[in-house]
Amino acid sequence: MPFGYRGPYIPTMTVRLVAHYHVRSDASSIAARAEAIAAEQSVEMPVSAIDDRTVLDEIVGRVESIGELGDGQFEVRIGLAPSTTGFEPGQLLNMLFGNTSIQNDVMLADADFPEAFVAAFKGPHSGLDGLRTRVKASSRALTCSALKPQGLPPSDLAKIAGQLAAGGIDYIKDDHGLADQSYSRFKDRVTACADAVAESSARTGVATRYLPSVSGNLDSLRQQMRHVIMSGLDAVLIAPMIVGLPNFHTLVRENPDIAFMTHPAMAGAARIAPSFLLGKLFRLLGADATVFPNFGGRFAYSPEECRRLAATALAPWPSIRPTVPVPAGGMSIERVDEMLDFYGTDVMLLIGGSLLAARERLSQETARFVEAVRRHG
C-alpha cells in the first residue's frame, strides 16, 4: 500500500522546501514514480551511485508523503533542500519544476516555503493595503481597465487613457502587448498617457493610477523604470514568465516605492497550478496585484480554481503582505455584482475590451463600472 507512505528516515539539518505534485500513475508504481521525481528535482542521477553522506542526507529530494486524489491521480510531496535554490528566483523555479515540467504526467500543485524563503524574497512592498491607499479606497473593491489596442500611436492611447480616467476608475494598465514598438515607443507612450491621466484625475478628484507595461532584458527594464519614476508614476505591469523571474524579482527589490501588477502571459497554467504560480510564487517574489483569467470569460479556469487563487493571494502569511487578486479576461459591467459576491471586496476588478467597445461613450461606461463597484453591498 503506497498511500500514506513516508520515505526512510534521513536526518536533515534544514527545514525542507516541500513541493506538491499531482501525478498521473497507477497505484502499483506511484512509490517508485515519487522517488524518481525526488531524484529528478535534486541530484538528477541514480541515487544508488552517490556515496557522499552529506549529499545523501541533505541534498537528495525526500518523498514526504503520497496521497490518493482519485481518478488515477496522486499527490506526492517532495522535500527539497532550501540550499539547492541558492535563494535565487530562477533557481527556485528550476528546483521546483525544471526538468519535471517536461514530464506530462506531473503538475506542480503547490509548495510550502520555510521561513528562510520569506526572509530571502520578502513578498510585495505595497500589496492590498498599498494599492487601496494609493487611490484612497478604504475597504471597497478596486477598479481597473486596460489600454488597447496595440498599434495606436501614443496620442491615441493617451486619449483613451484620459477617457478611462475621466470615468473615475482606480487603475489603468497597459495591455500586456504594449512594449517598445516602432509605432509607439515606450517613453513617448508613458509620458503621453501619464499626462492624460493626471489631467483627468485633477478634474475628477480620483487619484487614478496608470501602470505602464515594462519589458525586455534587465537593462531595458531598469531604463523603463527610471522613465516611469520620472513621469511621476508609482505602479507598473510586468509579465514575470516573459521577462524571467530573476529580472522580475530584482526590479521589485530595487523599487520599493513602486507597486507591481503581474500579468499571467506564458504562465502555461495547464502544468503549474495557477493558485500556486500566480497566487503564491508571484506573491513571494513581490507581486502587489496579480492578474488572472476569471471563470466564464475567454479562458478555461473553473470557479474553484479562481477562488483558490484569490484565497492564496490573500491568505495570512507572516510578514508577507497580501497580493490583490485581479480577475480579468472578457469581463463586463453586467458581471460586477456577481464577481463581488464571489470574491468579496479584497479584489480589483479589471474590465478592458468591453469598456473600450463603448467608443465615444468610454468615460460614461467607465463611470458606470466605477459606480457599480461602489454601490455594491
Looking only at residues 115 through 144 of this chain, which bind its own copies when binding is defined by CB under 8 A?
Answer: none
Segment 154-173, which members bind its own copies (CB under 8 A)? 156
Segment 262-291, which members bind its own copies (CB under 8 A)? 264-271
Residue 153 region by backbone torsions, left for phi larger than 0, else alpha for psi between -120 and 50, else beta: beta
For the bound state, the minimum distance from the C-beta of residue 362 to its own copies, rounded and expressed in Å, comes to 10
**What CA–CA distance (Å, rounded) separates 248 from 246?**
6
For 346, list phi and psi in degrees, rounded to 5.
-85, 70
Q: Which is nearer to its own copies, 1 or 13 (CB)?
A: 13
Q: Is 293 exposed, middle or buried (0-12, 13-18, 19+ CB in 10 A)?
A: buried
Q: Which is nearer to its own copies, 153 or 377 (CB)?
A: 153
Answer for which of 10, 12, 183, 364 binds its own copies (CB under 8 A) is 183
Segment 81-110, which members bind its own copies (CB under 8 A)? 81, 83-86, 88, 90-91, 93-95, 97-99, 101-105
Q: Which is nearer to its own copies, 93 or 166 (CB)?
A: 93
C-alpha cell at 46: 541514480
Number of neighbouring beta carbons within 10 Å of residue 213 = 26
Answer for which of 293, 322, 325, 327 binds its own copies (CB under 8 A) is 293
Contact at 8 Å (CB) between 141 and 170?
A: no
Beta strand pairing status for 235-238 and 259-262?
parallel
The answer to the question of residue 180 lying near its own copies (CB under 8 A) is: yes
Q: Which is nearer to its own copies, 15 or 36 (CB)?
A: 36
Q: Which is nearer to its own copies, 135 or 172 (CB)?
A: 172
Beta strand pairing status for 142-147 and 171-174?
parallel
Segment 43-72, which members bind its own copies (CB under 8 A)? 43-46, 48-52, 54-55, 58-60
- Three-state secondary structure call for residue 74: strand
C-alpha cell at 255: 523599487
Segment 193-232, which members bind its own copies (CB under 8 A)? 215-220
**What CA–CA distance (Å, rounded) separates 145 from 172?**
5
Looking at this protein, which amino acid is placed at residue 267?
Answer: A
Answer for which of 5, 177, 227, 361 binds its own copies (CB under 8 A) is 177
The answer to the question of residue 73 lying near its own copies (CB under 8 A) is: no
Q: Which is nearer to its own copies, 298 or 374 (CB)?
A: 298
**What CA–CA distance (Å, rounded) separates 230 from 251?**
16
The answer to the question of residue 151 lying near its own copies (CB under 8 A) is: yes
Q: Which is nearer to its own copies, 67 or 353 (CB)?
A: 353
Q: Which is nearer to its own copies, 202 or 270 (CB)?
A: 270
For 70, 78, 256, the CA distances from 30, given in Å and listed in that order, are 13, 13, 45
Contact at 8 Å (CB) between 235 and 261?
A: yes
Region binding its own copies by CB under 8 A among candidate stretches 116-124, 188-196, 246-254, 334-342:
246-254
Region binding its own copies by CB under 8 A among candidate stretches 21-29, 189-197, 307-315, 355-363:
355-363
What are the start-end ranges of the H helices in the chain?
30-40, 53-54, 89-97, 115-121, 127-134, 154-166, 186-204, 218-230, 240-243, 245-254, 274, 282-284, 303-314, 336-343, 353-356, 362-375
For the bound state, the minimum distance from the C-beta of residue 356 to its own copies, rounded and expressed in Å, comes to 5
Segment 6-35, which members bind its own copies (CB under 8 A)? none
C-alpha cell at 334: 453586467
Contact at 8 Å (CB) between 212 and 174?
A: yes
Q: Which is nearer to its own copies, 47 or 198 (CB)?
A: 47
Region binding its own copies by CB under 8 A among candidate stretches 109-117, 124-132, 238-246, 333-341:
238-246
For the bound state, the minimum distance from the C-beta of residue 309 to its own copies, rounded and expressed in Å, comes to 12
For the bound state, the minimum distance from the C-beta of residue 330 to its own copies, rounded and expressed in Å, comes to 9
Segment 308-347, which members bind its own copies (CB under 8 A)? none
